[in-house]
């Protein structure tokens, strides 16, 4: 496969991130041949390898770490939540060191060339409350109320992550009644009670 032909297929995808598998499928070439072509383009400084089988165009203005999330979980859904989502909504000003992601898979850290992703397991029955970011279809993002409850949910579990928040700035559109509804959906009664207490503390601080 020539450099020109693989670039044509990359451009046809109309997005900055792509995988070896999908280029192999649309080009009709083997994975080995496709990989060789991609490695050549990387040497030419046109693309770079983000993670296993995941690539991106260099200097593409639409590329950011969040757009990689769907490609890291090709067989299941995952959504940006917790501290990262709260930051995107402006509720937390401090920029997170890692991108926090909710998934039904095991908790883990994924290191890539474009950023570090901290994946946290959410009970399947509680895996909800998200939509495509700004309807772009680039990555799934928790709604602000669910992102807060997700954070409290993790802080109430064994590892007690996200137990401390920097100053929170809630927009007028933020609904505490909606957060209460999400708390009621937490399947574990002990965690549900703990989250409800933490949420009440946040609400009292906001009122005072």
Residue 115 and residue 169 in one domain: yes
Residue range 20-45, pLDDT digits in tens:
999 999 999 999 999 999 999 999 99
CATH number at residue 196: 3.30.460
- Res. 187: pLDDT tops 80: yes
Q: Which residues pair with 47 in a beta bridge?
A: 57
Report the CATH number that the domain containing residue 26 is assigned in CATH.
Answer: 1.10.10.10
Rounded to the nearest 5 percent, the helix, strand and coil shares of the chain are 45, 15, 40
Helix (H, G, I), strand (E, B) or coil at 132: strand
Return d(Cα 22, Cα 111) in angstroms, integer: 22
DSSP H helices, the chain, are 3-12, 20-27, 31-43, 69-72, 82-88, 144-155, 176-184, 189-207
Q: Are residues 85 and 9 in the same domain?
A: no
* Order of strands across the sheet that contains 108-111: 108-111, 116-121, 99-103, 78-80, 140-142, 130-132
Domain count, the chain: 2
Same domain, 53 and 24: yes
Residues 84, 53 share a domain: no
Whether the pLDDT of residue 138 is over 90: the answer is: no
Do residues 129 and 142 touch, judged by C-beta distance below 8 A?
yes
38 and 110 part of one domain: no
Instruction: Give the separation between CA 164 and CA 28, rounded to whole angstroms.
Output: 51
Apex 134 CA angle, 128 and 136, nearest 5: 100
69 and 50 in one domain?
no
Tell me which residue range forms the domain holding 27: 3-57
Give me the pLDDT at residue 166, please. Answer: 72
Same-domain pairing of 23 and 82 = no
Rounded to the nearest integer, the mean pLDDT of the chain is 91
């Amino acid at each position: 496969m020539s450099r020109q032909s693989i670039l044509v297929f990359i451009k046809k995808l109309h997005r900055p991130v792509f995988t070896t598998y999908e280029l192999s499928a649309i080009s009709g070439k083997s994975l080995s041949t496709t990989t060789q072509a991609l490695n050549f383009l990387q040497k030419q400084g046109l693309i770079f390898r983000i993670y296993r089988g995941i690539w991106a165009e260099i200097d593409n203005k639409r590329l950011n770490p969040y757009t990689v999330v769907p490609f890291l979980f090709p067989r299941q859904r995952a959504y940006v939540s917790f501290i990262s989502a709260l930051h995107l909504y402006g509720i937390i000003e401090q920029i997170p060191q890692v991108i926090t992601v909710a998934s039904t898979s095991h908790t883990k850290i994924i290191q890539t060339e474009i950023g570090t992703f901290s994946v946290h397991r959410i009970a399947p029955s509680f895996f909800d409350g998200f939509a495509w970011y700004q309807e772009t279809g680039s990555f799934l993002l928790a709604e602000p109320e669910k992102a807060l409850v997700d954070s409290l949910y993790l802080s109430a579990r064994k590892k007690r992550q996200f137990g401390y928040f920097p100053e929170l700035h809630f927009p007028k559109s933020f609904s505490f009644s909606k957060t209460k509804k999400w708390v009621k959906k937490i399947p574990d009664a002990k965690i549900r009670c703990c989250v409800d207490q933490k949420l009440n503390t946040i609400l009292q601080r906001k009122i005072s």
